[in-house]
Structures are given as structure tokens and as C-alpha cells.
Amino acid sequence: MDVRDATPDDAAAWVRVERSAAPYLVVSTPLLLDDLASPRRLGHAVAEHDRSVLGVARIGNPCDGSVSLKILVHPDRRGCGAGTALLSWARQRIGSRAGTLRGIADDAALPVARRWGFVTGRRHTMSVVSPRLVAPPTALSGVEVVDLRTVGARRVWECHQATASDDPSGLSRATPYDVFLADDWNSPGHRPDLGRGVLVDDQVVAVTLVTASGGRAWNAFTGTQPRHRGRGLAAVAKRASLVAQTGAGIEFCGTGNNAANAAMLSVNTRIGYRQVATTYEVHGSVS
């Protein structure tokens, strides 16, 4: 088993591994190349045997001071030691950096994460829907729905700031505007034409952001300003976005939610999302 730093030439193999290990996510060569160049990543690696890539890993450096770690092993090659080798690479690369190492594990990976010394945190549900099966939103008096190109990056970020901090999943965080631009708005996978903003009196009160590649999409974020909650505006944004995705040839859209977020899970169920996987936050020491 060999572990080495990933290069742009590994893009196709990386995409193959990630799509196999987490088929509900959106990954593509442009997205990966952008990620490889991001200054907020501490490293990318691949584990290979006989020149075949079996697993991939990425170390991130979020704004909150923790260190994020993503390790994915192709389902057909689990148990061969690729994950353990990638974890060893990651800890060597991180070195003496202080803080908590955090990641996400699905049901298959959770026993391995526990053997590695990680502690289980919040549980999340991963769900998918076929946009063509989703009914358009019901029109609401005084409510206008527009695509995010009309809203613009600054106003989307302002709504994101006002809604992300109380996301029950803990995965959405208020970030500086330049970070939002780099990580979200200017990502090669971001589709502002498919995202939707909900306006009341020309104020942006709810948004939904979408990442897409080919026939796959990911509802990356949906949030409603606190004083406008309880009116069904998140569902309006989501439905309008999914209708737009149908016209763009999207075959399925995925999303993830904290298992305790009963309100959003109920919205998703009514829209037509069905759960396809369960994942867990895991936390461990850097060393």
C-alpha cells in the first residue's frame, strides 16, 4: 500500500472513489481541481496498490480552528488497510497542530472510526429526490421567488450569516464574506441559476444554495431568517429550486440534515426526499 500526495492527474480516480463511497454527494473533476488549489486545505492524498487508487483523503482547515479530515475508501476495497494508511498520512501531515480532528462517518465506516479512537457526535440523514417528481411551490401573497443571480452574492451571504449560526447540524457556520465567495459562491460547482432566494418587501428572507455537476445536484444550504420562520418559506425555496433543476436536466438532488432537525426533515419528506444513508460526526485528537 502506497500513500502519496494527490495531483491533478489523480482527478478521475478520485472522482471514481468518492462517487462509489458516497453516491449521494456531488463531485466532479472541476470541483476537485478547485479543491486541490484551495489555500484552506492542508493536503490531499491517495492510497494506491498496483497503481490503482483505492482511497483518498483531504485535510481541511476551517475557520473555527479545528482540523477537518475526509477519508473515503472504495467500497470494494474496504478492509485492505487503505483507510488506516491515509489516517497515518494525515496525522503526520498535521504534525503538532493543536485542536480537534473532526470528520463524518457513515454506518459502514463508523466501527472503523471508533477503532481509530474517534468519538461519535451528532447523527445526520442523507436524502435524495428526483426533481421531476416535485410539485412547484404554492404562491404566497407578498412573497417573490427569484434565482440567486438576481439576489447577488452579497445579499445571499447576509442571509446566510443570519441563519447559519443556529443550524442544528453544526455544519453551517457564519463565515467572512471573502471565505463565502471562495468556498461557496465562486465554487465551480455552484449553480446560482438553480438556487433560489425568497423576497418579502424586497428583503432576502430565505435562500437555498445548490451545487451541481452533470445530472447530479446537492442542496448545500437552506436557511430562513429567524423572524420569518414558520411560514413555509424554506419549502418554497426548495421546491422552486427543484423545479428549476428539472429544466436543467438534473436527475437527482441530495441533501443532508441533522437527525434532530425535525422541522427541516418534515419539509424534506413532504417535498419527496427519501433517506438513503445515515452519517455521524466523529471527533478525535490530532496526534
Residues 252 and 158 in one domain: yes
CA distance 128 to 250: 12
Closest CA to 221 of 165, 145, 275: 165
Residues 74 and 135 in one domain: no
Residues 160 and 70 in one domain: no
Residues 83 and 12 in one domain: yes
Q: How many domains does the chain have?
A: 2
Q: What is the pLDDT of residues 161-215, one digit of tens each?
A: 998 877 665 566 778 999 899 989 999 999 999 999 999 999 999 999 999 998 9
Per-residue pLDDT of the chain (287 residues; tens, 9 = 90+): 899 999 999 999 999 999 999 999 999 999 999 999 988 889 999 999 998 999 999 999 765 667 899 999 999 988 899 999 999 999 999 887 667 888 999 998 999 999 999 999 999 999 999 999 999 999 999 999 999 999 999 999 999 999 887 766 556 677 899 989 998 999 999 999 999 999 999 999 999 999 999 899 999 999 999 999 999 999 999 999 999 999 999 999 999 999 888 889 999 999 999 999 999 999 987 76
Residue 231 DSSP SS3:
coil
* pLDDT, position 100: 81
Residues 93 and 135 in one domain: no
CA distance 107 to 280: 8
* pLDDT, position 40: 83
Residues 134 and 272 in one domain: yes
Residues 58 and 149 in one domain: no
pTM over 0.85? The answer is yes
Residue that is last in its domain, among 48, 83, 98: 98
Order of strands, edge to edge, in the sheet holding 216-224? Answer: 2-5, 41-49, 52-60, 67-73, 100-106, 274-285, 119-129, 252-258, 216-224, 203-213, 196-200, 143-147
Residues 89 and 184 in one domain: no
Closest CA to 93 of 118, 63, 71, 109: 71
* pLDDT, position 39: 86
Q: What is the pLDDT of residues 237-263, one digit of tens each?
A: 999 999 999 999 999 999 999 988 888
Domain with 194 in it: what CATH number? 3.40.630.30
Which residues does residue 49 pair with via DSSP β-bridges, in sequence order?
52
Closest CA to 161 of 150, 173, 152, 147: 173
Domain residues for the domain of 69 are 2-98
Return the amino acid letter for 174.
A
